Chains A and B, each alone.
Chain A
Amino acid sequence: MAKEPSEQIIWDEERGEPGFGFIRPHFHQEIFPTSQIVGYVLSLALTLTSFLLVIHRTFSASPLLVAILILAVGQAGVQVGIFMHLRESRGPAWQVIPLFLGFFIAGGMIAMSIWIMMFKWGGY
């Protein structure tokens, strides 16, 4: 089937793959859904760990908060990296840059809100 010029695949041998570093596109193609199963097991393990940590009060309050926040960030990493196929794109995977800018703004907004209110509360 002949394709329109605009519908052609953009990889070619002379130019090589588009993009570089973390915006180099990469497609997940597997014969068996290994990465999905690994992602599911990882996400269940991370969730149950944070639940068990809280139910058994493994640490005192502050380290416990930090521990379950780290587990949540790991869980988000599993979802973005394994399930959302972050770097799938025809050309360079430009979505990566706004996404991390968004993480930066979101984290900054939440952390700065908590920080500025500490002056009123005298502690969190």
Chain B
Amino acid sequence: MSLPVDPKVIPKPPVPLEFSVKAESIKITGFWMFLVSDMLIFASLFSVFAVFRSRIMAGPTPNQIFHYGSTLLETLLLLTSSFTVGMAIFAMRKSHAQAMMTWLVVTLVLGAGFVATEIHEFITDVQHGITWHVSGFLSGFFVLVGTHGAHVSFGIAWAVTLLFQLSRRGLTPVTTRKLYTFSLYWHFLDIVWVFIFTFVYLFGKIT
């Protein structure tokens, strides 16, 4: 049996910058664990909504308060921002810092458009007396969709701080790891939104 004569360590395939330091790479795995636990929070809120969605009392039905237009607009904004943050990671892997920053700014603008549309939708509802204490359905709806909107708003604030750090420090194992975890977070919120528009908005239009 031959012992390994040459203990040379060969990077195969080349590992991207954000995985190049072991401590930073472990933080990426840790962020996946956070996403799993966050997914369970949303699963609980989805269960509550599923249980309460037919409990409308004297309040409006889902069909009366949901609109195809704003739902489609929010969905397209979030899907496109998911693509642009993917492009930011692609540019980061190519070490194109300027392209990466541009894609990240585009992502932020699209995310802000999403939050603005949702806030407008909520304000319009409240002006018509549709608030979360009217019925079980509305409580479940506002808590579920509001929690998602709060996550997106937090993500925007996080990305703004990341933009400052990236412009000051450039691409290092730490900053690239932060942008990578941000992209994971953003795609995760996109998945949650896909289930919200299916399970809340489209289901509400069907039944």
Q: How many A-B residue pairs have CB under 8 A?
A: 162
Contact A76 B32 (CB under 8 A): no
Chain-A contact segment, one of B46-54, B110-118, B151-159: B46-54
Complex Cα spacing A8 to B191, Å:
34
Contact A95 B33 (CB under 8 A): yes
Known A9-B10, A68-B202; contact A110-B46, beta-carbon cutoff 8 A:
yes
Question: Which residues of chain B have C-beta atoms less than 8 A from A17's C-beta?
Answer: 12
In the A-B complex, the 5 residue pairs with the closest CB atoms: A106-B43, A95-B32, A102-B36, A113-B47, A40-B83
Q: Mark A102-119, 1 if CB is under 8 A from B, else 0.
A: 110111011001100100
Contact B194 A36 (CB under 8 A): no
Contact A39 B4 (CB under 8 A): no
Contact A14 B36 (CB under 8 A): no
Question: Which residues A87-113 have CB closer than 8 A to chain B?
Answer: 88-90, 94-95, 98-99, 101-103, 105-107, 109-110, 113
Contact A39 B93 (CB under 8 A): no
Known A95-B32, A98-B36; contact A29-B13, beta-carbon cutoff 8 A:
yes
Chain-A contact segment, one of B14-22, B119-127, B164-172: B14-22
Interface contacts beyond A6-B23, A47-B194, A79-B190: sample of 5 additional A-B pairs, CB < 8 Å, sorted by A? A9-B10, A30-B90, A71-B198, A79-B187, A83-B83
Complex Cα spacing A116 to B12, Å:
51
Question: Which residues of chain A have C-beta atoms less than 8 A from B190's C-beta?
Answer: 79
Contact B82 A43 (CB under 8 A): yes
Output the residue of A33, A50, A64 with the most chain B CB within 10 A: A33
Contact A33 B198 (CB under 8 A): no
Question: Which residues of chain B have C-beta atoms less than 8 A from A7's C-beta?
Answer: 20-22
Q: Mark A1-36, 1 if CB is under 8 A from B, else 0.
A: 000001111111110010000000001011001001
Complex Cα spacing A79 to B79, Å:
10
